[in-house]
Structure 1
Amino acid sequence: MPDSAPIIEARGLTRAFGGFIAVKNVNLKVRGGTIHALIGPNGAGKSTLFNLLTKFLSPSGGSIFFKGRDVTHMAPADIALLGLVRSFQISSVFPHLSAHENVRVALQARECETFAFWKSNRTLRRLNDEASNLLESVGLADRSQTRASELSYGRKRALELATTLALDPEVLLLDEPMAGMGTEDIGRTANLIRSVGNGRTILMVEHNLGVVADLSDAITVLRRGEIIAEGTYAEVSADSEVRKAYLGGAHG
């Protein structure tokens, strides 16, 4: 069951680039245990808002809270240690390592075991078992010894998700997880997100409105840097301002 208290909260969040205000006085609450989507037409400010929430941009004004703690001025690496991890952006894979080796590197980083050649065989065996379990959880058990560079685009994104899950995040922040995927990969990835979202919170920016409708518990719609609607897909899709924002435009 979703938590009633917000796990991520933005208060009056604003970001200006010179004289242009990309995000204006945004108040956002993401409840724990939900899949929450940020959508809006091209130029709506959703990517800027996402970059603010994941600390890849600093706000011009306002505050960001994670589990009630003010993280406005914390670095991305520091909030990742708190359990707020951005995927498909910071979890780049090593192309010449196998899928299994990539996940084990992430596990070693989590446990500060980068110099694992000093570790005992028992420790390495445990990491190997955990890496295998993570690969199985994202449907890559049969690709464990395949080099990352040889994986299809959709499977490579699944590997990136596995390396992110190796950090044991409480909140997953997904930046356009379906971008560039064909129909088969979109379906597989949507099922994967639903599966790994069980017991976690997911905040994602996504252009594919079919995916948003299928996966999301809550949706925030932006236009020109401001929130114009929030609610379930049925609620926001029936909103006259949302219809106006998308009328004649791309679903971007």
Structure 2
Amino acid sequence: MIESDCILEARGLRKVFGGFVAIAGVDLRVQTGHLHALIGPNGAGKSTLFNLLTKFIQPSAGEIRFKGQDVTSAMPATIARLGMVRSFQISSVFPHLTVYENIRIALQAHARDTWGFWRSEQALHRFDEDVHDLMTQVGLEPLVYTRAADLSYGRKRALELATTLALKPELILLDEPMAGMGQEDVERTSALIRSLARRHTVLMVEHNLKVVADISDKITVLRRGEKIAEGSYDEVAANDEVRSAYMGGAHG
């Protein structure tokens, strides 16, 4: 049985593409309320594992449970409705809509208010309070009427996080949230994710080891599709296999 403090669990997860083993029997447990980081060198299988967990691809073997429910054969939309929501590496906001409009659309989608897209602006004001609450959470309230296309890259990622939060997730999966950012945006986004993790469980793929060290509760390390270490940053950084595979022996 799945343990009560575990929101997501993978057991013996395996994915084979032709003759290539991309994920080789990985076990993963994400505890409720934790920020869990997934790291590893290029080609380690991190993106494949994310795709398996969020059901964009089906496993060759193994089992996935979310909130105790077997979701191994579930569809991506089912996973999202259950409360596991993924934010992608490439920003996916609507560039010609404002910050306000992007978040409101996400709220409408969660409410399944499809007819709402054809109603007057006045009829959609019922979403205003939630829109402003989400903007406040991600620090975008001064930019309410700014088009997404005019935001800095880091602020676009903050907007994407707001639209993710609009779906009321219990578990947020973040795919390299700092990718392509300058130092200022990295610091702002890192602080934002740390703040979100106080209210949500987060599973994150990230290459920036300083960010991982600063904000993660637990880290899983992959190499060539296998889990080679797991624990706190200090524990995995001291692991000889990790240092050889990921850090090149440069740490400690």
| Shorter-chain TM-score above 0.5 | yes
Shift of 1:96: 0.8
Tell me what 1:10 maps to. 10
Quote the Cα distance in structure 2 between the aligned partners of 1:117 and 1:88.
25
Quote the Cα distance in structure 2 between the aligned partners of 1:89 and 1:244.
26
Quote the Cα distance in structure 1 between the aligned partners of 2:189 and 2:249.
26
227-236 or 109-118: bigger deviation: 109-118
1:239 has 2:244 as partner:
no
Tell me what 1:84 maps to. 84
1:91–1:164 CA contact under 8 A, matched in 2: no
SS in 2 for 1:115: helix
Shift of 1:124: 2.3
In angstroms, what is the RMSD of aligned CA positions? 2.1
Tell me what 1:98 maps to. 98
Deviations 1:108-160 (A, max 9, x none): 11111132266688862230121112112111111110111111111001000
1:199 has 2:195 as partner:
no
Opposite residue 79 of structure 1, the aligned amino acid is I
SS in 2 for 1:25: strand
SS in 2 for 1:26: strand
TM-score normalised by structure 1 residue count: 0.93
Gaps of 5+ in 2: none
SS in 2 for 1:92: coil
48-57 or 226-235: bigger deviation: 48-57
Quote the Cα distance in structure 2 between the aligned partners of 1:247 and 1:216.
17
Tell me what 2:23 maps to. 23
1:42 has 2:42 as partner:
yes
Quote the Cα distance in structure 1 between the aligned partners of 2:227 and 2:174.
19
Deviations 1:33-54 (A, max 9, x none): 0000000111111111111111
Quote the Cα distance in structure 2 between the aligned partners of 1:156 and 1:173.
17
Tell me what 2:124 maps to. 124
Gap change, CA 1:191 and 1:128, over 3 Å in 2: same
Quote the Cα distance in structure 2 between the aligned partners of 1:129 and 1:238.
47
Gaps of 5+ in 1: none
SS in 1 for 2:38: strand
Tell me what 1:177 maps to. 177
Tell me what 2:108 maps to. 108
Tell me what 1:226 maps to. 226
SS in 2 for 1:72: coil
Tell me what 1:159 maps to. 159
Opposite residue 136 of structure 1, the aligned amino acid is T
Gap change, CA 1:199 and 1:91, over 3 Å in 2: same
Opposite residue 73 of structure 2, the aligned amino acid is H
SS in 2 for 1:14: strand
Quote the Cα distance in structure 2 between the aligned partners of 1:92 and 1:129.
23
1:221–1:228 CA contact under 8 A, matched in 2: yes
Gap change, CA 1:141 and 1:247, over 3 Å in 2: closer
80-89 or 162-171: bigger deviation: 80-89
1:106–1:166 CA contact under 8 A, matched in 2: yes
Quote the Cα distance in structure 2 between the aligned partners of 1:232 and 1:247.
15
Identity %: 65
Opposite residue 16 of structure 2, the aligned amino acid is A
1:97–1:147 CA contact under 8 A, matched in 2: yes
Shift of 1:25: 0.5
2:89–2:177 CA contact under 8 A, matched in 1: no
SS in 1 for 2:22: strand
TM-score normalised by structure 2 residue count: 0.93
